[in-house]
């Protein structure tokens, strides 16, 4: 299917965007975390819009765009808040519920009724993300590290929702992204992906920055004090948004988002790579580098409390046996669900 590769690439870039936000700006308040990538993504978006030009666009496009701006403003700010409060692997997986919200919103707003096989695929993606979040080796609680208490492990995400405010915030973000995705789909029904993305960010970027300056305490000079980090985050956001609109133009919103939710798998992989990179830096002999990364307790530090892979011996089961990791079956369920969505499209 022509839309599958762009949707998979959108998933990869979405996970990378969240990981970079945490790693490169995790020491900042949520307002400044959001401001950096938004500000630095404006130049490529405005350049793209200047090259392509803005044709005459119908009223439904503008209505969808003007509605999508505040929805995405709230979703972006809450995402930054969530990944700052908890590791990416404990927040991003809850975005798995957004395809369910997309199905509902798309039916109500656009009259698109999904096929039964597509709904089954969406539910598999949700179930896989649930298992992915329930079975991580770094998330075991006392007395449930072995494979015997399966029910306790499957119910762990409920406890994560109760214990991790970042997880609850991300569940609310899933609802917003569900609505925002349907609005994006309506936009690309009336414009090319480049024009839709360029117009959206030409409105969204300044509006978000103005709101952050008025209510979030962001000052213009703060946007340029980390130019390299900002440029990297802005470039990734630009690519992620462009690929998102491209994939959205090729299929229904429910299909695209169901596959894009594989970002939960990529997020766990990025968390693990980030952890290993941080461990390598911490293990570097003293004296070779006076700045070996953030100190323990820093929100972006992979070895801080709550990180998905930082538990060390916490992954050991009863009697010293290694705990079973639910990430592989969770990823398998998500992949099967995404494949079913693709085949049903």
Q: What are the extents of the domains in the chain?
A: 4-277+321-344
What pLDDT, in 10s, does the model give residues 252-276? Answer: 999 998 888 888 788 778 877 877 7
**pLDDT surpassing 80 at residue 128:** yes
- Tell me which range, 162-166, 188-192, 259-263, is most confidently predicted by mean pLDDT: 188-192
Range of lowest pLDDT (116-125, 126-135, 208-217, 326-335): 126-135
What one-character DSSP code corresponds to residue 88? G
Summary count for the chain: helices (H), strands (E): 13, 0
Q: What is the pTM of this model?
A: 0.74
What pLDDT, in 10s, does the model give residues 53-71? Answer: 889 999 999 999 999 999 9
- Average pLDDT on 212-225 reads 88
Work out the burial of residue 108: count CB atoms within 10 Å of its CB; fewer than 13 is exposed, 13-18 middle, 19 or more buried. exposed
Instruction: Kindly tell me the sign of the dihedral angle through the C-alpha atoms of 285, 290, 291, 293.
Output: positive
Q: How confident is the model at residue 284 (pLDDT cuts 50, 70, 90)?
A: low
- Average pLDDT on 3-29 reads 88
The pLDDT value recorded for residue 189 is: 94
Range of lowest pLDDT (57-66, 131-140, 299-308, 332-341): 299-308
Q: How confident is the model at residue 280 (pLDDT cuts 50, 70, 90)?
A: low
Contact 94, 133 (CB under 8 A): yes
Rounded to the nearest integer, the mean pLDDT of the chain is: 78
d(CA 29, CA 211): 14
Contact 317, 147 (CB under 8 A): yes
């Amino acid at each position: 299917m022509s839309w599958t590769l762009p949707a998979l690439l959108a998933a990869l870039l979405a996970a990378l965007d969240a990981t970079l936000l945490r790693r490169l700006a995790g020491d900042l308040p949520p307002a400044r975390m959001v401001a950096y990538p938004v500000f630095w993504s404006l130049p490529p978006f405005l350049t793209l819009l200047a090259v392509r030009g803005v044709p005459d666009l119908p009223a439904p496009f503008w209505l969808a765009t003007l509605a999508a701006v505040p929805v995405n403003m709230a979703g972006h700010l809450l995402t930054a808040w969530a990944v700052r409060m908890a590791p990416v692997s404990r927040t991003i997986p809850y975005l798995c519920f957004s395809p369910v919200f997309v199905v509902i919103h798309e039916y109500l707003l656009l009259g698109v009724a999904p096929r039964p096989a597509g709904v089954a695929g969406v539910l598999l993606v949700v179930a896989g993300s649930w298992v992915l979040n329930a079975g991580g080796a770094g998330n075991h609680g006392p007395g449930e590290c072995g494979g015997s208490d399966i029910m306790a492990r499957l119910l762990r995400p409920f406890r994560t929702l109760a214990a991790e405010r970042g997880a609850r915030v991300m569940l609310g973000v899933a609802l917003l992204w569900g609505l925002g995705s349907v609005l994006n789909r309506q936009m690309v029904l009336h414009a090319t992906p480049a024009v839709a993305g360029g117009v959206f960010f030409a409105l969204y970027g300044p509006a978000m920055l103005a709101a952050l300056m008025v209510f979030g305490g962001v000052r213009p000079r703060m946007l340029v004090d980390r130019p390299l980090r900002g440029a990297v985050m802005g470039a990734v956001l630009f690519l992620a948004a462009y690929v998102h609109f491209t994939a959205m133009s090729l299929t229904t919103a429910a299909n695209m988002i169901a596959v894009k939710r594989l970002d939960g798998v990529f997020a766990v992989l990025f968390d693990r790579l980030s952890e290993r990179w941080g461990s390598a830096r911490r293990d570097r002999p003293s004296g070779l580098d006076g700045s070996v990364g953030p100190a323990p307790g820093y929100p972006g530090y992979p070895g801080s409390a709550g990180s998905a892979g930082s538990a060390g011996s916490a992954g050991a089961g009863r009697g010293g046996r290694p705990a079973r990791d639910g990430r592989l079956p969770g990823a398998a369920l998500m992949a099967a669900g995404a494949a079913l969505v693709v085949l049903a499209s």
